[in-house]
Amino acid sequence: MNLLGIKRLAGVLLAALLFAAPVAAMAQNAATNAPAASNAAANSASNAASNSAAAAAPAPGTCAALNNCTVIHNSSDPDVNNSGDTAWMLTSSVLVLMMTIPGLALFYAGMVRKKNILDTLAQSFGATCVITVLWMIIGYSIAFTGHNPYIGDFKYLFLAPLNGDINIANTDLAPTIPETVYMFFQMTFAIITPALIAGAVADRMKYSAFLWFMGLWLIFVYCPVAHWVWSAKGWLGEGGIGALDFAGGTVVHLNAGTAGLVAALMLGKRKGLGTENFAPFNPAYAVIGASLLWVGWFGFNAGSAVESHDGQAGMAAAATQIATAAAALGWMFMEWIIAKKPTVIGMASGAVAGLVAITPASGFVNPMGALWIGIAAGVVCYLSAVHMKKALGFYDDALDCFGVHGVGGALGAIMTGMFASKAINSGIPSKGGWLIDGNFNQMYAQLIDVVSVFVFCGVGTFIILAILKYTIGIRVSEEVEVEGLDINLHGEVVQG
């Protein structure tokens, strides 16, 4: 299949989506309005009979008829659609979006060479746009609705149930905020997770292939894993074996890190690696990006409490700050001891490693647990990103997506089982963690979670990239790679 054919196919798909959206909306409105007219006529004949019929058979197109996990709330009811919770979750959603644009975009752009800065920025920006649209069309529906333990259903295609009432809430997962807010919050997670993979494929992946990969990976890898761990009935999470992942240690970081490793292997090493100078063009960008990630991560972790009316969000925020600082120091001192100088990119990378590792644990551990997780993350991720990669030598994880997010996510998931405490979060479905509550069985659940996500993501990512490789191709030509992706793929360059 040549590139022209792919572009035509993309155009046809886009036209189909543009046509399908208003058709779906009109169908939803017709389904909702038709029963309303019938009810009005029935009321004029017999109000009592009308009410009885309405109670016995809910109107088509309503949430009751959809038989899904949503209910219609009265927005004036003080026990639902809590204003404080809603305000906090809107703020958290914007903070997490800021983590990708501009946080992650700057963090990665600061660590590549000048000729590839714009392409690296475009990867984060383009991923944000593609995933937003796909999340609205199908992603949220298959990730967070339904009661199947492995995948969601299609009742929320195009977010159809939200067309009729803005006050419905996902009562299984976020009962005190409108579902529009919860959907938006989870959208920002779905955006940053595939975007993280860009760190492994920097300097050599075709932009067209990257965008296709983002969309396919979201639907066929991220959404199933999110459903397994975070949906009400997912087989790995609280509705299944009870693995603990408060904000995305396996769903986000191990998932993205594993995909990054597979992508790096399938793309091959960058041309000139080991013989040419690959020093970052602007480390200041990377530090600014890491700082934005740090600030935005409070929305990521504390926001995953999905409320603000008790102490859970506050403890998650405190644990996040403690672990991040400890990890930055751990990486810095390891680098200082081994390489004799503490680099600013090293400190920034250490902070990100701490953020990654505390993510699954942030709502379950006490301050001492957060401290130990942070220290471990700084040391282990430094060794994996700097020394393990060199020692193994068979993969080129350009910006350490696997070394930080894959290893850090797995480490954090395991250590969550060690330090989780029922005293911190009484909602833990098991008897608690190992070291605090004496429940070693929690470690088995955490290990199953890690292994399952690693294997599923590895296989799924390989299949997606193999399809793209043998259709449109996934790597730029040698000439483009040498001259630079900015000028060849985007027709512009960074001046100065």
Residue 270: pLDDT band with limits 50, 70, 90: very high
CATH number at residue 373: 1.10.3430.10
**Domain that includes residue 204, residue range:** 83-490
102-125 average pLDDT score: 98
Is 432 inside any structural domain?
yes
In Å, what is the CA distance from 229 to each residue of 12, 74, 246, 265, 315? Answer: 35, 30, 10, 27, 22
pLDDT of residue 170: 84
pLDDT of residue 61: 42
Number of domains within the chain: 1
Answer whether residue 60 shows pLDDT above 50.
no
Cα distance between residue 348 and residue 355, in whole Å: 11
Is 128 inside any structural domain?
yes
Q: What percent of the chain has pLDDT over 90?
A: 80
Closest to 212 (Cα-Cα) out of 481, 480, 464, 488: 464
Is 55 inside any structural domain?
no
CB crowding 9-44: b at 16 or more within 10 Å, else e: eeeeeeeeeeeeeeebeeebeebbeebeeeeeeeee
Q: Higher confidence at residue 171 or residue 410?
A: 410
Over the stretch 351-394, which tens digit does the pLDDT of each residue have? 999 999 999 999 999 999 999 999 999 999 999 999 999 999 99
Q: What is the mean pLDDT of the chain?
A: 88
Is 67 inside any structural domain?
no
Cα distance between residue 6 and residue 212, in whole Å: 10
Is 73 inside any structural domain?
no
Is 48 inside any structural domain?
no
pLDDT of residue 140: 98
pLDDT of residue 287: 97
pLDDT of residue 309: 85
Answer whether residue 101 shows pLDDT above 70.
yes
Is 60 inside any structural domain?
no
Answer left, alpha or beta for residue 191, where phi above 0 means left and psi between -120 and 50 means alpha.
alpha
Residue type (1 letter), 225: V
- Is residue 234 within 8 A of residue 256, CB to CB? The reply is no
Residue 264: pLDDT band with limits 50, 70, 90: very high
When mean pLDDT is compared across 77-81, 88-92, 253-257, 335-339, the lowest value belongs to 77-81
When mean pLDDT is compared across 19-33, 89-103, 432-446, the lowest value belongs to 19-33
Q: Higher confidence at residue 33 or residue 468?
A: 468
Over the stretch 16-41, which tens digit does the pLDDT of each residue have? 444 444 444 444 444 444 444 444 33
pTM: 0.86
Answer whether residue 406 shows pLDDT above 50.
yes
Cα distance between residue 274 and residue 265, in whole Å: 17
pLDDT of residue 81: 84
Residues 6+ apart with CB under 8 A from 318: 367, 370
pLDDT of residue 473: 98
Is 91 inside any structural domain?
yes
Residue type (1 letter), 444: Y
Token pair 């730029």 is found at 476
